[in-house]
Amino acid sequence: MILNKFYNSIGKNIAPLKSQKLHGINPRLSYKKNDFFYLPRFSTPEMIEARKMDKIALRDIDCFYDKSFKNADYNDYLILKDDRVEANFSRVRWVNPKDNKAYFLLKDGESDDGIQNIRILDSTGRFIKNAAIKKKTIIVFELDTDKKFQNINNVSHSDLTSIFIRRFNPFADIKICLWKDKFEANRNLLNQINDNVSAISCAFSSNVLVDTSSKLKNLYNKIFHKKLKFNPKELANKLIDMTDENEKFFEKVPSNVRIFMTSGNGGRKYYNKYLSFKRVEGVGCLNDKKKLSEFTASRNSYFTQHYEKGEFPVIQLPEGFMFTGTGDIDIPYKSNKFKLINNLEGTSFAVSIRAAKVVLNQMMEGIL
């Protein structure tokens, strides 16, 4: 629907608004003094971009792109093929959601004021242009438990999510913030937000069981392929009522900062109550078959608008560990081992990838 026509169809009492001013997850228009109504959920630029990026994520799951880089010049070819960790974290394959075309972005120096110089190549390695982009910051917000992964060089959960962000946006700064106490949210998170922060990646959830149907009703729904019906707005209000006042600090985050949060790992019957807040965007998990992962929760677009792959095999090579799905060494670790370790699975990895990609889109705005 074209918003300008939509405005004209709803009368003269609506406050005049420009379409480009409508942002966020739940856009709404006001009329009279205290009344409002909601616009279609995916009518804002952010949500249109989310739909496009979901399609790109699905396509990239089984997309084996050409790594011959046949049109790259000699120096760019060496950078693209360099398998050292410091080199592979200085480049990224980026798909522009505006044209669905893949590009390779290479670091080419940084000035003292945080402006990064990059070289932009097409999918074959052909040079397109040089560009300067402004560095932005992503806050990794995690619970203070921050468990260790002993089979992956004893790295912490926040280390892993940070690596996924670096892998899909090597140009962003990363801050790690651990949520130790719900009463300290202002000090732990809000005080870390400055003008450079563009997004918060929340790698945790608070899941609530929603499906309270009887076993007989569940069996009936399964036999006749019926879905559990509920009003998502009513559910969101109930979940907000279940949230402690000290947990509602998301409402205080500046409006220019995107808040991404995991849909949760509870499965289809669970909903992350924090996704009920109007500014928090949910990120769910896809598997290798382009389906929702069995564990991904909050399966309704009112709560979850984004989807990324979130299941990755962990491979230990003599040079180190590989797990982000890009074919590069993610953690250097010299050994004589070659083995397949248990998969990394979780919506916390999906949310890290989506936050990184969205901020990279912002950094590339107006460049291509």
Is it the case that residue 32 has pLDDT exceeding 80?
no
- CA atoms of 197 and 195, how far apart (whole Å): 6
Q: What would the pLDDT profile of 217-233 be if each residue is shown by its tens digit?
A: 666 666 666 665 668 88
Q: What would the pLDDT profile of 244-303 be if each residue is shown by its tens digit?
A: 888 888 888 999 999 999 999 999 999 999 999 989 999 999 999 999 999 999 999 999
In this prediction the pTM is 0.87
Name the phi and psi angles at 81, rounded to 5.
Answer: -100, -5
Residue 153: is it exposed, middle or buried by C-beta count within 10 angstroms (0-12/13-18/19+)? middle
Is it the case that residue 214 has pLDDT exceeding 60?
no
What is the predicted pLDDT for the residue at 126?
Answer: 98
Domain positions in the chain are 3-43, 51-64+136-363, 74-132
Look up residue 256 and give its two tokens: 């220019």
What is each CA distance from 89 to 60, 72, 86, in whole angstroms?
19, 19, 6
Which range has the worst mean pLDDT, 138-147, 184-193, 216-225?
216-225
CB 298 within 8 A of CB 264: yes
What is the predicted pLDDT for the residue at 146?
Answer: 78
| Listed residue (210, 353, 193, 336) closest to 268, CA to CA | 210
Question: What CATH class is the domain 51-64+136-363?
Answer: alpha beta
- CA atoms of 15 and 310, how far apart (whole Å): 42
Look up residue 15 and give its two tokens: 């406050």
Is the pLDDT higher at 312 or at 34? 312
Is it the case that residue 41 has pLDDT exceeding 70?
no
- CA atoms of 80 and 85, how far apart (whole Å): 12
Q: What would the pLDDT profile of 54-78 be if each residue is shown by its tens digit?
A: 999 999 998 878 899 999 999 999 9
User: Which ranges of the chain does DSSP label H, i.e. alpha helix?
Assistant: 3-8, 45-61, 74-81, 85-88, 157-168, 185-188, 215-223, 232-241, 347-363
Is it the case that residue 25 has pLDDT exceeding 80?
no
Average pLDDT over residues 110-138: 95
Name the phi and psi angles at 179, rounded to 5.
Answer: -90, 100
